[in-house]
Chains A and B, each alone.
Chain A
Amino acid sequence: MPSLPDMTTPNVEALAADARAPRPDPAETVPELKPALFEGLCRLGDSTLVLGHRLSEWCGKGPALEEDIALANIALDLIGHTQMWLGLAAEVEEAGRSADDLAYLRDAMRFRNLLLVELPNGDMARTLMRQFLFDAWHHEMLERLTGSDSARVAEIAVKALKEVRYHLERSSDLVIRLGDGTAESHRRMAGALDMLWPYTGEMFAGDGTDAALAEAGIAPDPASLHEAWHGIVTEVLEEATLGVPEGRADVQKGGRQGRHTEHLGYLLAEMQFLQRAYPGAEW
C-alpha cells in the first residue's frame, strides 16, 4: 500500500513537482524485463542496421545525383539510429558488449531484424517500395515509442522520429510519382509491391517478448500499429494507381525471432569481414 500524502498539510509545490517528475523507468527498475527489453532493442537496431547497410550498397550507383545523396543520407540516419538502439541494448544486457560487438560479432541466428529489410536491393523500384513499406511502419512505431514509459527509449524515439518523418515523406512521394509515371515505371513499382507484400505482415505479428514490453508500457503491441500503417499505405498506393495487393501479407515471417532468409548470411559476411578477420583490432 503506497503511503498517501498528508491531506491536512498539502505541499502543493512538491506534489506538482512530483507529478512532473518522470515515472520510474521500467527498463531500469524491473530486472525481469531486461531480457525482453534487450530483445526488443535488438529488433529495432538490427532492422535499422540491415536496412542502412542495404541502402549504402547503392553508393555511387543511383539513377540521379540527387538520389545518391538522399539514399546516403537515409542510410546515415539509420546507422545513427542503430548506434542508439544497439548502444542501449548493450547497456541493458550488462554483458560487457558494445553496439559494435552486437553489430559485428553476432551471427545470423542472433539477428532480430525484419525479413523485409534484408532482401536484396533489386532495382530502384524494389528499393523504394521496400523503403516506403518500412518507413510507414517505422514512423508509426517511433511515434508510439515517443510515449514509452522508458525515458531512454522515448528519448531515442524522439530523435529518430524527426528523421523518419522525412524518410516517409520522401518515399511516399516517390512511390506516387513512379507508380503514376510511365507504363514502365508503373510496371516496375507494381512488381516490387507484389514481391514485397508477403513480407509486410511480420511487422505486426507479436510474440511473448512484444507482449511483455507492451504490458510494461515500454513498446506498443505490434498488432496495434497495423491500422495506421494500412491507412497510410492504402492512401499512397491508391494515389500511385497501384492499389493494395489482395494476397496475404503475413506469409514470410521469422526474422524477429532469428529465422532469416538466405540473404542475411551474405550481408553479414561482408559487413563483419574486418572484425572477423582481425579480432580485437581497433579501427
Chain B
Amino acid sequence: MYAQMVKSEASNDDPGMLAAFQARIDRGDKIEPKEWMPEGYRKTLIRQISQHAHSEIVGQLPEGNWITRAPTLQRKAILLAKVQDEAGHGLYLYSAAETLGISRDEMFEQLHSGRAKYSSIFNYPTLTWADMGAVGWLVDGAAIMNQVPLQRTSYGPYSRAMIRICKEESFHQRQGYHIMMKMARGTEAQREMAQDALDRFWYPALMMFGPSDKDSVHSQQSMAWKIKINTNDELRQRFVNETVPQAEFLGLTVPDPELRWNPDKEGYDFSQPDWDEFFEVLKGNGPCNRERLGARVRAWEDGAWFREGLTAYADKAAQRRAGAATAAE
C-alpha cells in the first residue's frame, strides 16, 4: 500500500494505562491529538502516516511525466487536477502527522535522506500515455482498497484525512479506467500500449499491499490499535477480485497464467509478485528510485532561497508591525 511495511513500535508504558487505552480503541473511540497514547502507537502512526504522505508527493512525478504530453486539452486538465489532488493529499497527511509531534521539515528530511520510505510503485517508469490509464485504474484502485477501511482508523486526524482523500480517489480511478477504455478500444497501436501498460503495472500494483503479514507480530499490534484494518493478503485478494473483471471488460489480459476463479473461496487464485524484486525496489534498486528521490531533493534544494525569502519577509513584516505598535504607544 502507500504504507507498505510499517514496523509497529513496542510500548514501555504502564500496563494499566495501556489496557485502558486498548479498551477505548475497542469501544470505537477516536483518539485525538492531545489525549494520552502509548509511545508505540504514536511512533507507529508517525511512520505510517508520513510514509503515506511521502507516497502522495513522490506519486506526483510519474504522472507529472505525462502532463506536458497529454493528448487533448481535456486530458491535460483532468491529469493536472488529479496530480494537484495528490499534492493536496500529501498536505492533509503531513498535517495529520504533525499533530503527533513531528514537523513537516523533519519528515522531508527523513524522506530526502532515504530513511523514510514511500510506496514502491512510484519507482516504476511511465513509458506511454496508456500508463496514465494504468496508474489511475490500478494504483489509485489499490490505494482505494486500503484507504476506504482506514477511514475507520482509531486516530481522529488520520481518519478525517482519509475521509477527505477517499472522496477524491474514486475520480482518480475513474479517469484512469476511462483512459484505458479509450486505448483498449482505440487503434491497434493504442490497444498494444494498453496491454503493455497492464503487463508492466500488474505485479507492481499487487506489491503495493506489501508482503504477506498474516503471521506478523507488528501487524497484529497495529490491527489491535486499529491503525491497520485488514491484512495485506486480504486487501490483495479483494483487489484482484475486483480488478480482473474490469480487465476482462476492457478486453485486456492479466499477465498471470495461473489466474483462475476459485468457487470454493469465492475469489481468484493468482500468482504472487516477485518479492525479491519488491525488496530490491525498497532498497533503492528499482528502475526509477534515483530519479524520483533525486527530483524531490533537487526541488527542495532549489527551492531553499524561495522559502528563506518568504520567511525573511514575514519576519520583517512582524518587526514592522511591532515597531508601529511601539511608536503608537
Contacts and interface: CB of A to CB of B under 8 A. Distances in A.
A61 B293 CA distance: 11
Interface in B24-80: 57, 60-61, 63-64, 67-77, 80
A131 to B, nearest CB: 14
A104 B81 contact: no
Interface in A157-195: 176-178, 180-182, 184-186, 188
Interface residues on A, range: 35 or more
B324 interface: no
Contact of A177 (B74, B83, B305, B309): B309
Contacts of A154: none
A182 B305 contact: yes
A119 B44 CA distance: 47
A169 B69 CA distance: 30
B309 A185 contact: yes
Contacts of A184: 305, 308-309
B85 to A, nearest CB: 9
A227 B106 CA distance: 48
Q: Tell me if B's interface is mostly helix, strand, loop or mixed.
A: helix
Contact of B313 (A52, A75, A177, A282): A177
B87 A69 contact: yes
B189 interface: yes
Contacts of A69: 84, 87-88, 91
A271 B68 CA distance: 6
B316 interface: yes
Contacts of B316: 180
Contacts of A271: 68-69
Given A99-B73, A104-B72, A278-B190, A283 B179 contact: yes
A68 to B, nearest CB: 5
Contacts, number: 150
A185 B312 contact: yes
A262 interface: no
A209 interface: no
A60 B55 CA distance: 12
Contacts of B67: 56, 59
A5 to B, nearest CB: 47
Contacts of B314: 177
Interface stretch (A31-39, A79-87, A213-221): A79-87
B200 interface: no
Contacts of B84: 68-69, 72-73, 76
Nearest to A83: B73
Nearest to A59: B64
B87 A273 contact: no
A113 to B, nearest CB: 15
A181 B316 CA distance: 8
A275 B71 contact: yes
A281 B63 CA distance: 21
B129 interface: yes
Q: Tell me if A's interface is mostly helix, strand, loop or mixed.
A: helix
B73 A283 contact: no
B90 interface: yes
B114 interface: no
Interface in A35-64: 49, 52-53, 56-57, 59-64
B19 interface: no
A250 interface: no
B174 interface: no
Residue of B77, B302, B308 ringed by the most chain A CB atoms within 10 A: B77
Residue of A52, A62, A270, A283 ringed by the most chain B CB atoms within 10 A: A283
B187 interface: yes
Interface string B84-121: 10011011001000000000100000000000000000
Given A104-B71, A270-B68, A65 B80 contact: no
B295 interface: yes
Residue of A86, A185, A275 ringed by the most chain B CB atoms within 10 A: A185
Given A62-B303, A180-B316, A278-B190, A283 B129 contact: yes
A66 interface: yes
B309 A181 contact: yes
B328 interface: no
Given A104-B72, A282-B182, A188 B305 contact: yes
Given A72-B80, A177-B313, A281 B190 contact: yes
Interface of B: 57, 60-61, 63-64, 67-77, 80-81, 83-84, 87-88, 90-91, 94, 104, 129, 179, 182-183, 186-187, 189-190, 295-296, 298-300, 302-314, 316
18 contacts: A52-B76, A53-B68, A56-B68, A59-B60, A67-B306, A79-B76, A83-B77, A100-B72, A124-B303, A178-B310, A180-B313, A182-B305, A182-B312, A271-B68, A273-B69, A275-B72, A283-B129, A283-B179
Complex A-B, nearest 7 residue pairs according to Cβ-Cβ distance, in ascending order = A63-B303, A185-B309, A181-B309, A60-B60, A59-B64, A72-B84, A274-B71
Given A62-B299, A177-B314, 19 more contacts: A52-B76, A57-B68, A59-B80, A59-B83, A60-B61, A60-B296, A61-B295, A63-B300, A63-B302, A64-B303, A65-B57, A72-B81, A99-B73, A100-B74, A181-B310, A181-B311, A281-B187, A282-B186, A283-B186
